[in-house]
Amino acid sequence: MEGGPGTGAGPRSAPGFSLPTEPLVRRRNGLLVSTAGSGGRIQASRPGDPSRIGPYRIIGRLGSGGMGTVHAGLAPDGLRVAVKVIHSAQAEDADFRARFRREVELSRRVQGPCLIPLLAAEPEASPPWLATAYAPGPTLNQHLADRGPLTGGTLYAFAAGTAQALAAIHAAGVVHRDIKPQNVLLTPACPRVLDFGIAHATDGTSITRTGVMTGTPGWISPEHYRTGTAGPAGDMFAWGALVAYAATGRLPFGTGAPDVVAFRVMSGEPDLDGMPGKLREIVEKCLAKEPADRTNAASAAEECALLLASQDTQVLGDGAGLEPTRVGELVTAQWDMPPLDDPAWPLPPTRSRRRTVAAILAAAAVVGGIAGGALALPSGTENTTHDAADAQVTPGETNAPRTGPAPSGTGTAKPSADPRTVGIPKDPLLGVSDPAYTRADDPAQPSYDEWRASTAAAGPEEKDVEEAIRKDMTSMLATKDMDFMKPIVTFNRRAQTVMVTGGPISTLTDDYKEVFGRTGAMAACTALAHRLEGAPTTWPYGRYYVLWKDFDGQTEPTFLDFGQATAGCLPETAGQWQGGEAGLATAAMPSSDKAEIRVADTVVEAVRTAWNTRAAGGQHGLIPFGRDDSISLGFDPVEKAAYVWAWDDPGALVGRAQKSQFQQLVSKTVCQEMAAEYDRNENWNYTRWSVAVYQGNSGVAEFIGSGTCTAD
């Protein structure tokens, strides 16, 4: 089928419809919806992940995207590294491998301040990989959403450092072509420009596909819109917009539909109100409509360095010929970002990862064991292979589970008066000697060829599973006002894989795609687990593959997730559910569900009042939180969890005892309120909780407790 699956669905076509591109803001008392930055926090490795790549020992994941998976690694000398491994589907494409090889060549050319150095690469390996130094920190987008615009010396250091990075890129004969807030990390050392995935050499040797507009709306130069030209001057236009955004927190050409933003870029004036005068002059030159009128990167770096030096009352003469090393020294001197660390990184280079993980699990068990509160679930729901909290119910339906266990006659779970008590099978093929699904031990990712060969549901069983996945995803997405993203479900019997494809919407931001990927994976895993348990000797599908199409006819859409329903559908540590960065990021998005908003407001107010009352009474040396909005709560509909996070500016949660008290207070309060909602609202299916703390100015969440509200 031409173009692969997904031709039957398109974007919502309301006039002027566009997705938000600005940082989300606080909507209600209990629902803070700014993006929670990961800052490079390590996630657990997944089944099939390598234990070693080249010389690097792999200790977990840092993230995953359309090109590949980024693993956290340790060099033999203990140096922390990020190792990007290309997805197998892309690695099989000769054209893609050539582009990756070119990316490695260009990255090796570029060295300089405020860049992330390439340490090693094997473009001919199977699969190809490259390793860079590990750089923790939030992106500019995340920092602005969490902390607001940059000011003073930090702003000038940001401008000088990013301009110097571009100067080094351009001096190496390379054009970046994708300068935007998501591609700048605010590390403790300096701002760092990253992502050469669509860069190309100024000699015309491109590593991108011809005929495709590269870049992101709002960060594309006028000449690129008009003629497709992308040179160093285009990078400087995007740099000017980047610095303006960092200084004001506003997109200089506004938001809206891509064609509207493009018109403003080509014909309108940027919004620079509030920028410091001298810096504004530099930025205005870079935002000139004609490329020849813009300042080059080296000159912009020198001019910003002079402004930076004035913050330190240093005298540099006229600044002519300022050396790059001097610019770097000034940036380092004025840059003000808190140090970040992730306790999952082993401290001594030789420390055993098993020992580290065991220590973390022991600490988690201690914290989780003292949690109070209970959720009054119906009796008789405990099961060694099912979690009673895993059932899902479509709003408005009272008689059928949302995920739809296999129809009667297939041997599925017995009907229940309350469909929320139907759990997800954790090992649906346990004890089955001759299952129809035979790829349970195959960790390989599905390929694009398998996706392109997939077809629409055929027969009642496949149609039932398709309907279950679509209903489950729609229900989850609706709580975040994202149900305009309509999944297309197709099947490849030879590959024993169910494909879930979204799109086509070209302007969808990464956070929206992340939520679509998570809902697709959970819905597919849940439906397949039920079907495998109900008909293990006849149902052949056990794998799922989730992708996103940016346009019709796209043959290699963005990879979002894949997995198997035989490996469990929820993240667990030592058999217990644990909250994580992905769930927290989803929970931080705005909710459109009235019950969620009501519960969030009630819990946040109760926790804040109880904590401040204890602090006022001098209990155990507690101190109150500094702001009324220090505590927030949001819901992750994918894992059915409530996330509570605190912005701890005054240091109220610095000590272990204070964190323990806060975690106990939150878990007890949230479980009591969710129990009440569970009893009065047949569509309420949140039964898990997780608590996180942001210390000071840190953009990294520290998880201090997670659990499931259990019956008395």
Report the percent of the chain where pLDDT is more than 70.
Answer: 75
- Reported as a pLDDT band with limits 50, 70 and 90, residue 380 is very low
- Band (pLDDT 50/70/90 cuts) for residue 465 is very high
Look at phi and psi of residue 460 and say left if phi exceeds 0, alpha if psi is from -120 to 50, else beta: alpha
What b/e string do you get for 68-103 counting C-beta neighbours within 10 Å, with b at 16 or more? Answer: bbbbbbbbeeeebbbbbbbbbbbbebeebbebbebb
The 10s digit of each residue's pLDDT in 127-147 is 899 998 888 888 898 889 888
Look at residue 343 in the predicted model and tell me its pLDDT: 59
Q: Check residues 174 and 13 and name the one with the higher pLDDT.
A: 174
**Mean pLDDT, residues 26-52:** 53
Predicted confidence at residue 435, as pLDDT, reads: 94
Among the residue ranges 106-120, 196-210, 289-303, 594-608, the one predicted with the least confidence is: 196-210
Widest pairwise Cα distance in the chain = 85
Q: Which residue did the predictor score with more confidence, 218 or 122?
A: 122
Which residues on neighbouring strands pair with residue 688, listed in sequence order? 641, 708
Mean pLDDT confidence for 314-329: 54
Lowest-pLDDT choice from 254-268, 402-416, 615-629 = 402-416
pLDDT of residue 323: 61
- Fold agreement between 52-133 and 140-334: no
What does the pLDDT read at residue 650?
A: 66
Across 542-549, average pLDDT? 94
DSSP lists the bridge partners of residue 256 as none
Reported as a pLDDT band with limits 50, 70 and 90, residue 362 is very low
| Least confident among 91-100, 371-380, 627-636, 642-651 | 371-380
Residue 53 has pLDDT above 90, yes or no: yes
The pLDDT, as a whole number, for residue 241 is 96
Who has greater pLDDT, 616 or 150?
150
DSSP H helix total and E strand total for the chain = 17, 20
Q: Which tens digits make up the pLDDT trace of 202-247?
A: 444 333 333 334 456 678 899 988 887 778 999 999 999 999 999 9
Residues in the chain: 712
* pLDDT (0 to 100) of residue 711: 57
- Look at 522 and 382; give whichever has higher pLDDT: 522
Residue 512's pLDDT band, with cuts at 50, 70 and 90, is confident
pLDDT tens profile 333-348:
778 887 766 656 765 4
Q: What is the pLDDT of residues 676-686, one digit of tens each?
A: 998 898 889 99
Which stretch, 97-111, 274-288, 363-377, has highest mean pLDDT?
274-288
Q: 597: which residues sit within 8 A by CB, 6+ positions away?
A: 28, 30, 31, 591
pLDDT band at 81 (very low <50, low <70, confident <90, very high): very high
Alpha carbon distance 556, 208 (integer Å):
13
Which position has the higher pLDDT, 634 or 356?
A: 634
Asked if 578 and 572 touch (Cβ cutoff 8 Å), the reply is: yes
Say how far apart CA 2 and CA 6 lie, in whole Å: 10
What class does CATH assign to 52-133? Answer: alpha beta
pLDDT for res 356: 31
Is the per-residue pLDDT at 524 higher than 70? yes
* Digit-coded pLDDT (tens) for 494-503: 999 999 999 8
φ, ψ at 441 (rounded to 5°): -100, 10
3 state DSSP class of 148: coil
Quick check: is 203 catalytic? no
Residues 507 and 18: beta-carbon distance below 8 Å:
yes
For residue 19, the 8-state DSSP code is -
Pick 229 or 563 by higher pLDDT.
563
pLDDT digits (tens, 9 = 90+) for 143-159: 898 889 999 899 999 99
Q: Name the residue with higher pLDDT: 88 or 317.
A: 88
The stretch 680-700 carries a mean pLDDT of 84
pLDDT band at 698 (very low <50, low <70, confident <90, very high): low
Which candidate in 49, 93, 95, 178 is catalytic?
178
Q: Mention the CATH class of domain 140-334.
A: mainly alpha
**Position 625 pLDDT exceeds 50:** yes
Q: Which of 483, 459, 455 is nearest to 470 (CA)?
A: 483
HSE of 266, CA atoms in CB hemisphere, 13 A = 13
Whole-number pLDDT of residue 66: 62
Which residues neighbour 279 within 8 Å (Cβ) at sequence distance 6 or greater? 155, 156, 159, 243, 247, 304, 307
Return mean pLDDT, the chain.
77
Q: Where are the domains of the chain?
A: 52-133, 140-334, 354-374+580-708, 388-569
Give pLDDT, residue 445. 86
DSSP assignments along 41-103, one per residue: PPBPP-TT--SEETTEEEEEEEEE-SSEEEEEEE-TT--EEEEEEE-HHHHT-HHHHHHHHHH
Which of 62-71, 618-627, 628-637 is predicted most confidently?
A: 628-637
